A and B are shown apart, each in its own frame.
Chain A
């Protein structure tokens, strides 16, 4: 894969994060997992991740709050990181918030197998 190498996974369910991380890892990506929103913001703000996979149901700060902090008021924060919401939450309001806050995608975990996620990320390149 060209360009995109580092992935930050903000997800509190280890079953899920381990599963996706394993596949992405085997494909050559460098995956870091954090399990709460606050840590997620801190890690992402360092700017060293190309892709941020962001759950919504998180302790400390939820995903929409994290997104809002990372992109900032003017929506121009972290321009070099792609932020993809990865959740099982399917409400129109959440999706609209994600769009307006300049996320780069909204995936439903139950509909995204690890292979599928890999494909999507590889196409994103």
Chain B
């Protein structure tokens, strides 16, 4: 505690309640403190001077009596000084100096504490209604009682684990949520470990990792599912699980796990997502016919039509395709939200795949009055990609570029080996993206309302791109300058680098490749 603060507090209190005798005395002490110092110093000088004069004068005085008187005065003065020093005002002097210095007086802790206590009592007496006065030390045991009560009433399940992963404390709700009979801690532990943690690391692994090398650690798992049978019925609950680890050398509790029942929230969310999925499926029916018949007319009628009508037909086809793309985007996002979005990575010939994708996109780009330019080396190593996913990414990126490119503009797609990954960039020299939007570009459902040139669809398409690229263990980034253009780039791993975080290959019992399997559906996700 800084004395400066104490002095200020005393001053403040004196100001608040100047009629309080104690405050006035304290304040007086502070104010007089300076004076006393002066007196002390003056006293010393005086006595020295006097002594000198006396000694000098004494040489001429032979009277013992006079000598006695002089010495007595000298002693008296000294005594007076001692008394002054010993008096309590010294504390005020110390106060004074300490206050001026603004530092901590390192002396007497008891002394300081007594001042502090007094001040606190003062505050308590003045400011708190007697009935609400914070009690003193008996509080300790009732604090524990209060904590226990809160623990048992808590609307979230709480489990505390010790060094051996044994739950040493668990509240009532924890047992209920995991459908474990009261106080069966062993079963609770087992249930806790066997929940469906959807991220790469489950609770057991995470705790082990924390113990192995961390001092603090924290993790949240969302959408953790738990199924149980209650009264013959299957009950499904969905939790958020939060674990907090703190290194504890005393072999006591080191991990606290909090379980929050989010069943209703997630079910409502699932309902919305199901609705989206159903709506999207319904839309696909009429789109199939529209798209298909445009295709039929293009084939049968197209060659007989004058060029301007051919172009109209072509635009119908392009628009129909874009419709399916947007619906596919929505469906993908619904799957992402339901945690059922995953990618199936396979080795692919990247230059061939990229060229194929760009050739298809070229029709769309040309129809919009712009050009697509692809530059990719022929001899790149094999990549590990989800074919359909990467198609969506490039398609969305080109779609995005089209929105920001001037007429007659060119979209450049470049791809090559960089730092052990394949880096691909989609660049345009269009109007660029405002700085205020760039940070949110890949955010789900983000829509900027600020300008007419606001990005539409980026909150879906680009968010999807980010999710897909990250599922490939790659990165996606953007660089843009208003008036100059935009580059969006991403990298994907080579086949020889198998990424641990991704699932590769089939989950079914059939090997699709040898079976001659054909597919174009957008969402084969496990």
Q: Is there an interface contact between A19 and B293, defined as CB atoms closer than 8 Å? A: yes
We find that the number of chain B residues with CB closer than 8 angstroms to chain A is 36
Residues of B within 8 A of A84 (CB): 518
Residues of A within 8 A of B287 (CB): 110
Q: Is there an interface contact between B340 and A120, defined as CB atoms closer than 8 Å? A: no
Confirm or deny: A22 has a beta carbon within 8 angstroms of a beta carbon on chain B: yes
- Could you give, for residues 307-344 of chain B, a 1 whenever the CB lies within 8 Å of some chain A CB and a 0 otherwise? 00000000000000000100110010000000010000
Confirm or deny: A74 has a beta carbon within 8 angstroms of a beta carbon on chain B: no
Q: Is there an interface contact between B295 and A115, defined as CB atoms closer than 8 Å? A: yes
Confirm or deny: A109 has a beta carbon within 8 angstroms of a beta carbon on chain B: yes
Q: Is there an interface contact between A92 and B284, defined as CB atoms closer than 8 Å? A: no
Binds A, one of B98-106, B156-164, B509-517: B509-517
Q: Which of A88-108 contact B (CB under 8 A)?
A: 88-92, 95-96, 99-100, 102, 104-108
Chain B min CB distance to A39 (Å)? 21
Q: Is there an interface contact between A114 and B292, defined as CB atoms closer than 8 Å? A: yes
Confirm or deny: B296 has a beta carbon within 8 angstroms of a beta carbon on chain A: yes
Q: Is there an interface contact between B523 and A90, defined as CB atoms closer than 8 Å? A: yes
Q: Is there an interface contact between A115 and B522, defined as CB atoms closer than 8 Å? A: no
Q: Is there an interface contact between A92 and B289, defined as CB atoms closer than 8 Å? A: no
Residues of B within 8 A of A89 (CB): 281
Residues of A within 8 A of B516 (CB): 104, 124
Nearest B-chain residue to A124, judged by Cβ:
B518
Confirm or deny: B291 has a beta carbon within 8 angstroms of a beta carbon on chain A: yes
- Could you give, for residues 4-46 of chain A, a 1 whenever the CB lies within 8 Å of some chain B CB and a 0 otherwise? 0000000001011001101100000000000000000000000
- Could you give, for residues 499-522 of chain B, a 1 whenever the CB lies within 8 Å of some chain A CB and a 0 otherwise? 000000011111010011111111
Task: Determine which residue in B288, B324, B520 has the highest number of CB atoms from chain A within 10 A of its CB, and name it.
Answer: B288
B interface residues with partner A (beta carbon < 8 Å):
277, 281, 284-285, 287-289, 291-293, 295-296, 299, 324, 327-328, 331, 340, 506-510, 512, 515-526
Q: What are 16 pairs between A and B in contact, CB < 8 Å?
A: A13-B285, A90-B522, A91-B523, A92-B340, A96-B507, A99-B508, A100-B508, A100-B510, A104-B518, A106-B519, A107-B520, A109-B288, A110-B284, A110-B285, A113-B291, A124-B518
